[in-house]
Amino acid sequence: MESAIKQISRSVYAMIGPQGSTNFGIVKGSDGSAALIDADIRRIDDIEEALQLTGCSKISYLIDTHEHFDHTSANFYFSQRGIPVVASAGCAAAMRDEGGPDFERMMKPVPELYERFPGLCLTLPDVVFRDSTKIALPGVTLHLKYCAENGHSHSRGDTTIFFEEEEVFIAGDLLYTEVHPVTFFGNIPNWLTALKSLLKSHYKQLLPGHGPAVEGEQAGKAYFKKMYDYLEDFHGRLVEVKAGRQNAEDVARHMLSGTYASFGKTRMVQRNINHFLTGRWF
């Protein structure tokens, strides 16, 4: 399975992950330099190929939208090449507090990467901002905004990116389209509050953290609303399970049917329920 490279706008390319896996973004300056948004060491060959195919002469920045392994595990690779890694203070703190064990756990199925990249390890961002910051390339202005409500929505580091000149909005994992989200790292009530603000965002193109890109603000708003409704429905039913008024099997059946029947990454439903019942997330 290979990522599909999709041109989102004149200067933005997206590597759409296969079967709902992580999306990566490339924002290209007029001089051929680029900001790379998120990178997974397990898919580094796809990323390097995409950078070559899109004509990027160099990477000026790597931006982490949040702390999870599939978005930050290639920090080491790019940092070794002298490329600054930019992320929110929340992302950096989460990586510092919890990233080590998670990095080791996710690397267990791919130990050969330690041989291919000697010294490979969790690598924290070296350019950190608290609430917002701006990154500029020739012809490109990127506005980064920290959006983890009360310090924890989908993650502790949730950051969105708005490309001013071409009106492209990159939502990170605050938004999934056409696939079941990963909720077990998150705080769903806070996530719902964050989505209320994102419903007011303006853009021409929208790139989620997972799932297909979206063209047009109206279509984007519909996807943000769909995400909000999904999380509200799921969380409400899980609260009922916790109170003994509903069983987990019924919740799983509901989340795999009806409005959600066409969603990909179906395995996430049971994983999300199991994590909730073991008390590992809010």
147-173 pLDDT, tens per residue? 999 999 999 999 999 999 999 999 999
Above 90 in pLDDT, residue 4? no
User: Regarding the domain delimited by 4-277, which CATH topology (the fold level of the hierarchy) does it fall under?
Assistant: Metallo-beta-lactamase; Chain A (3.60.15)
How far is Cα 266 from Cα 263, in angstroms, rounded to an integer?
Answer: 7
CB burial string 220-254: b at 16+ within 10 A, e below: bbebbebbbebbebbbebbeebeeeebebeebbeb
- For residue 215, what pLDDT is reported? 97
Q: Are strands 168-176 and 205-210 parallel, antiparallel or unpaired?
A: parallel
Rounded Cα distance, 172 and 169, in Å: 9
pLDDT value at position 282? 46
H-state helical runs in the chain: 44-53, 69-72, 75-79, 89-94, 100-107, 112-116, 188-198, 217-242, 248-255, 267-277
Predicted pLDDT at 21: 95
User: Cβ-count burial of 201 within 10 angstroms (0-12 exposed, 13-18 middle, 19+ buried)?
Assistant: middle
DSSP string, 95-108: IIIIIHHHHHHHHT
In tens, the pLDDT along 24-78 reads: 999 999 999 999 999 999 999 999 999 999 999 999 999 999 999 999 999 999 9
